[in-house]
C-alpha cells in the first residue's frame, strides 16, 4: 500500500459565547486551518488541554469565566503555556486590552471585526520557518536591525522616513513610498525615498488605481506589467515612459482601519517582477510599520502601559477608588503638608448599614455591585482635590485636604443623602443608609495621621451605635 503524506492543517481554537462571532471567524479561517469552538472560559481551558491547538482566540466578555481569567490559567498550565493567545475585546474598553496583556495574552484584536486584519494577525502568529525560505540572509538581518532601530523611535514621521530609506537600500526600487488616506478619502505621501523636504504630497487616487484597489479591498495588489495590466488601463497616459514596470501595494492594517499604505515600486531591471522574496519582505515590512505606527501614536496620545499598571496598583479592583495601602500613603503625605503649612485636614469614615444582610439576602455578586455603585456615588460628591478610598469590606474613607470641621460635616451630609436616595440595582427597591464619622486636624489638636484615623473611625462606630444613617463629628 502506497501512502501519500498530506500536511495537516494547523489548529485554531475559537472561544466566544456569541455564535454569530464564532461563525464569522470560522468562515474566514476554515479553508486554511482546522477550527475548534468553545463558548466560555472553562471550555477554552478544557479544549486547549485536549486538542493542543496552535492558536487560541478568546473573547474577553464571556459567562462563567471571562477571557482574561481563562488566558491567565492557560498561561499558568505547563501543557498550554506555549500556545499563543489572541484576545477579542471592544474598542471602547481599552483597560481590557491592558489587563489581557498583563494576564499573558500574546495579542489582542478589537471589535467590530476587520477580517483582513484577523487573517494577517493569525498568519503572523502561525507563520513557520518555511515562510522565510525565500528570504536571503541579508533580508533577515535587515528586518532585525530595522525592528531594533524603530523600537527606539517615538516620532511617527521619523519611523516612516527610516522605513522608506532602508527599504530602498535592500531592494532595487525606483521609489518606495508610504501613503496615508484621511477620513475624507484624500491620499497623501507621508514619506518617500525620492522626497525632498518635509512637505506632504497630495495624490489624486484616480491616477493611482492600484492604491485605490488596495485601500478598498484591504488586500495587497501586485502588478508585474504596468503597460498591459487591465487595472492600469485608465492611467496609461501617465505610465508611459516610466523606468519601472512592476508595482506592489501593501495595506498597513491595524485596529480596524488602514493606517496607511505601504507603496513600493520596483525597477524594470528586475526581470521577474515582484518575486516571492520581494512580496514577503514587503509584507513583513508592512507588519513592522503597523506596529511601529500604533506604538508611536499610543505613546503620543495615551498613557503608557506602565502608567496604567501603576495606576491599577493603587486602585481597588472593584470600586476603582484608592486601595487601603495607597490611602495610608496619601494620608501621611497630606497630614505632613497640613501640619507644615498649618492648614486644616479632614478625614471621613463611613460604612454601609446592615451590609451583611445584603450579601445574605441577595448574594455576594449583588453585594459587589452595591459596593461598585457606592464607589461611583462617592466620586460625584468628592471634589477634585479629595481622595476617596475603599478602606476594606464595606468601609470607605475620604481624605479632605484644606477642609474645615464645618465643610467636612457638610460633605458627610451630602454623601449620606445621595446614597440614601439612590436606587441600587438588584435590591428590589430597597434603599441603603450609611453611618459616618469625621475628624479634623486644625492646628495642633491631632498629633499624627494614625490618631486622625483612630478618631474618625471611633466617630463612625459611635454613629452606628446610636442609630443608622447617622453622622458624628469629632475634632
- What tens digit of pLDDT does each residue of 63-112 get? 888 999 999 999 999 999 989 999 888 755 666 777 878 888 888 887 77
Instruction: Report pLDDT digits (tens) over 333-382.
Output: 999 999 999 999 999 999 999 899 998 898 888 889 999 999 999 999 99
Please report the sign of the dihedral spanned by the C-alpha atoms of residue 215, residue 218, residue 220, residue 226.
negative
Q: In what order do the strands lie in the sheet with 173-181?
A: 201-203, 187-192, 173-181, 257-266, 246-254, 221-223
The C-alpha atoms of residue 48 and residue 159 are separated, in whole angstroms, by 39
- Which of 76, 116, 71 has the alpha carbon at shortest distance from 89? 71
Q: What is the pLDDT of residue 371?
A: 94
The three grid cell numbers given for residue 178, joined into one nine-digit string: 508610504
Cell of 372: 461598585
CA separation for the pair 315, 313 (Å, rounded): 6
Residue 426, Ramachandran bin (φ over 0: left; ψ between -120 and 50: alpha; else beta): left
The rounded mean pLDDT for the chain is: 83
Strands (DSSP E) along 115-272, which ranges? 173-181, 187-192, 201-203, 221-223, 246-254, 257-266
pLDDT digits (tens, 9 = 90+) for 35-47: 999 999 999 999 9
Helix (H, G, I), strand (E, B) or coil at 284: helix
Give the Cα separation of 400 and 347 in Å (integer): 6
CA dist 375 to 309, 316, 347, 380, 437, Å?
Answer: 20, 10, 17, 9, 18
The structure's pTM equals 0.47
Whether residue 23 has pLDDT greater than 80: yes
Pairing of strands 201-203, 221-223: unpaired
Q: Measured between alpha carbons, how far is 327 from 29 in angstroms, rounded to an integer?
A: 50
Q: pLDDT confidence of 408, banded at 50, 70, 90?
A: very high
Domains (range + CATH), the chain: 10-126 (3.40.50.2300), 129-301 (3.30.450.40), 314-474 (3.30.70.270)
Residue 381: exposure state from Cβ atoms within 10 A (0-12, 13-18, ≥19): middle
DSSP letter for each residue of 222-244: EES-TTT-GGGGGGHHHHTT-S-
Omega cis (within 30) before 301: no
58: its cell numbers: 478568546
CA 231 to CA 221: how far, in whole Å? Answer: 10
Amino acid at each position: 500500500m502506497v501512502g501519500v503524506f498530506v500536511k495537516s492543517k494547523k489548529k485554531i481554537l475559537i472561544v466566544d459565547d456569541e455564535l454569530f462571532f464564532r461563525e464569522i471567524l470560522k468562515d474566514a479561517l476554515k479553508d486554511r486551518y482546522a477550527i475548534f469552538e468553545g463558548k466560555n472560559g472553562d471550555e477554552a481551558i478544557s479544549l486547549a488541554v485536549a486538542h493542543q491547538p496552535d492558536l487560541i482566540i478568546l473573547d474577553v466578555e464571556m459567562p462563567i469565566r471571562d477571557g482574561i481569567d481563562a488566558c491567565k490559567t492557560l498561561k499558568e498550565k505547563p501543557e498550554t503555556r506555549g500556545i499563543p493567545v489572541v484576545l477579542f475585546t471592544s474598542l471602547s474598553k481599552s483597560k481590557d486590552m491592558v489587563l489581557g496583556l498583563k494576564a499573558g495574552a500574546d495579542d489582542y484584536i478589537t471589535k467590530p471585526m476587520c477580517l483582513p486584519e484577523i487573517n494577517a494577525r493569525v498568519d503572523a502568529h502561525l507563520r513557520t520557518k518555511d515562510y522565510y525560505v525565500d528570504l536571503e540572509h541579508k533580508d533577515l538581518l535587515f528586518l532585525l536591525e530595522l525592528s531594533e532601530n524603530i523600537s527606539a523611535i517615538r516620532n511617527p514621521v521619523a519611523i516612516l522616513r527610516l522605513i522608506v530609506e532602508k527599504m530602498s537600500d535592500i531592494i532595487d526600487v525606483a521609489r518606495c513610498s508610504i501613503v496615508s488616506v484621511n477620513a475624507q478619502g484624500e491620499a497623501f505621501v507621508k514619506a518617500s525615498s525620492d522626497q525632498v523636504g518635509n512637505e506632504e504630497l497630495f495624490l489624486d487616487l484616480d491616477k493611482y488605481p492600484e492604491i485605490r484597489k488596495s485601500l478598498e479591498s484591504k488586500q495587497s495588489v501586485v502588478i508585474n506589467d504596468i503597460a498591459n495590466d487591465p487595472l492600469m488601463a485608465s492611467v496609461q497616459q501617465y505610465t508611459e515612459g516610466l523606468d519601472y514596470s512592476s508595482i506592489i501595494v501593501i495595506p498597513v492594517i491595524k485596529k480596524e482601519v488602514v493606517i496607511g499604505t505601504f507603496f513600493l515600486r520596483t525597477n524594470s531591471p528586475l526581470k521577474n517582477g515582484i518575486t516571492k522574496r520581494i512580496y514577503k519582505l514587503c509584507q513583513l515590512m508592512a507588519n513592522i510599520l503597523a506596529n511601529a505606527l500604533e506604538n508611536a501614536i499610543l505613546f503620543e496620545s495615551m498613557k503608557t502601559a506602565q502608567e496604567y499598571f501603576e495606576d491599577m496598583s493603587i486602585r481597588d479592583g472593584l470600586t476603582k477608588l484608592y486601595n487601603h495601602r495607597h490611602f495610608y500613603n496619601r494620608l501621611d503625605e497630606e497630614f505632613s503638608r497640613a501640619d507644615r503649612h498649618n492648614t486644616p485636614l479632614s478625614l471621613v469614615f463611613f460604612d454601609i448599614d446592615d451590609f451583611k444582610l445584603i450579601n445574605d439576602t441577595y448574594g455576594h455578586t449583588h453585594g459587589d455591585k452595591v459596593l461598585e455603585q457606592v464607589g461611583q456615588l462617592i466620586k460625584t460628591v468628592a471634589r477634585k482635590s479629595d481622595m476617596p478610598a475603599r478602606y476594606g469590606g464595606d468601609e470607605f474613607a475620604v481624605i479632605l485636604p484644606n477642609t474645615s470641621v464645618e465643610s467636612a460635616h457638610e460633605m458627610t451630609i451630602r454623601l449620606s443623602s445621595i446614597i440614601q436616595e439612590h436606587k441600587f440595582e438588584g435590591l428590589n427597591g430597597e434603599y441603603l443608609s450609611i453611618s459616618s464619622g469625621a475628624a479634623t486636624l486644625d492646628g495642633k489638636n491631632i498629633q499624627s495621621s494614625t490618631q486622625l484615623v483612630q478618631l474618625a473611625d471611633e466617630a463612625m462606630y459611635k454613629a452606628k451605635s446610636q442609630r443608622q444613617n447617622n453622622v458624628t463629628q469629632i475634632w
